[in-house]
Amino acid sequence: MSITPLMPVYPRCGVRPVEGDNCHLIDEDGTRYLDFASGIAVNLLGHSHPGLIGAIQNQAAKLMHVSNLYGSPQGESLAKRLVDLTFADTVFFTNSGAEAVECAIKTARAYHQHVGNAEKFELITFTNAFHGRTMATISASNQDKMHKGFQPLLAGFKYAEWDDLESAKALMGPHTAGFLVEPIQGEGGIRPASPEFLSGLRALADENDLMLVFDEVQCGMARTGKLYAYEHYGIKPDIMATAKGIGGGFPLGACLATEKAARGMVIGAHGSTYGGNPLAMAAGEAVLDAVANDEFLAEVTAKGERLRARIEQFIGNYPELFDSVRGKGLMLGIRMKVESRPFYAHLRDNHHLLTVAAGDQTLRILPPLVAGDTEFDEFIDKLSAGAADYKVPEAA
């Protein structure tokens, strides 16, 4: 038998972390890595935050899991906080981002069925989007590499050009239920949507009674200096998926919706064995305790500006390698003039700096939100050393 016990679906690299220390990961051979990947925008409080660890430990000792057949004081409390902090009136907790997007898709479809428009089941999504790896969420993305081997896809998605309102308009028809969009594309290459695009989608949704669904799985939860990225745009979605940072490393996601949008989500419409269990709720509360306040969010904004300015200054030294910096807060991307994946591997293997490669030749810089100037100094040192001894591979 040649298959590995872990199903071989990931191109795993040689880094094998066994311990975390704030903004660093320690490999099983003792090597320390500066972690500016944060488990792909998850470990927003770093790897050893006492508040998060304490909350999980305390809750684990008290009660880890009960079924959603019972009342949930823990779920009610976290849902109420999210409702108070956002556009939403109601919350469904999940264990991951893809499940949160699934729930968002179901909520949008159920709205139209509930109001008697069952023919409206199609969501318009956008090129290079990433919404997860379930059948519905790969169907929602136009990326062929994720479809291969899994056809037929789920019906009900049309792909418009990213950040192009006219392209979205052109796809609208009698089956359109709404729009599903990341306000800032993550996997697609840290690409913030333009304000005109998102407010244009909002207007189209309002004029035609469609659902505006935001996927804030990567850009949400304080990463951009606002609790949610939609706040930068002065508009609100009807439905939103959130995950990643919301549990700080504990698997947690949520689908948030307005009362109107959630009309079809009645008893029996949806469910999850683990979703919203007391342990996950304790992690979510600890994360909100740390990040959902003006001081923390202002710090993320200020730190994001400092880090961005330093990266912008640095990339000027290597015009043959780097093109530009984009993103918001501590969700930054360096667009490269060469493929980003080999450079990301070089930084990791030769300079012990962890970042994440993304689409559009972009290197994602996603530090824990608790990183500060000491970590930024270390980051710039490693990035400089990495650029100085980088040899662009022949084939790239």
What part of residues 212-271 is at the interface with ligand PLP (CB under 6 A)? 215, 217-218, 243
| Residues counted in the chain | 396
Choose, by CB under 6 A, the member of 112, 131, 346, 348 that binds ligand PLP.
131
Using the rule CB under 6 A, which residue among 56, 82, 88, 101 binds ligand PLP? 101
- Cα-Cα-Cα-Cα dihedral sign, residues 172, 178, 183, 189: negative
Pairing mode, if any, of strands 239-242 and 253-257? Answer: antiparallel
CB 175 within 8 A of CB 119: yes
The reply on whether position 197 binds ligand PLP by CB under 6 A is no
| Count of residues that interact with ligand PLP, criterion CB under 6 A | 15
Closest approach, Cβ 101 to ligand PLP, in A, equals 5
Nearer to ligand PLP, 225 or 253 (CB): 253
Whole-number minimum distance, CB 237 to ligand PLP, in Å? 14
Q: Nearer Cβ to ligand PLP, position 189 or 386? A: 189
Contact 353, 383 (CB under 8 A): yes
CA distance 255 to 242: 6
Query: Shortest gap between Cβ of 294 and ligand PLP (angstroms)?
Result: 26
Q: Which residue is nearest to ligand PLP (CB)?
A: 97
Residues 92, 79: Cα–Cα separation, whole Å: 8
Q: Which is nearer to ligand PLP, 132 or 386 (CB)?
A: 132
Cβ of residue 243: shortest distance to ligand PLP, in angstroms? 5
For residue 368, CA distances in Å to 41, 227, 271, 291, 364 come to 8, 15, 32, 12, 13
Q: What is the DSSP letter of 132?
A: -
Binding residues for ligand PLP restricted to 67-96, rule: CB under 6 A: 96
The verdict on 157 binding ligand PLP (CB under 6 A) reads no
DSSP 193: P
Stretch that binds ligand PLP, among 129-137, 139-147, 272-280, 373-381 (CB under 6 A): 129-137
Q: How far is the CB of 207 from ligand PLP (least distance, A)?
A: 26
Contacts (Cβ under 8 Å, ≥6 apart) of 102: 94, 132, 134, 136, 137
Nearest partner of 78 among 292, 309, 380, judged by Cα: 292
Site for ligand PLP (CB under 6 A): which residue of 102, 122, 163, 187?
187
Q: Is 191 in the site for ligand PLP (CB under 6 A)?
A: no
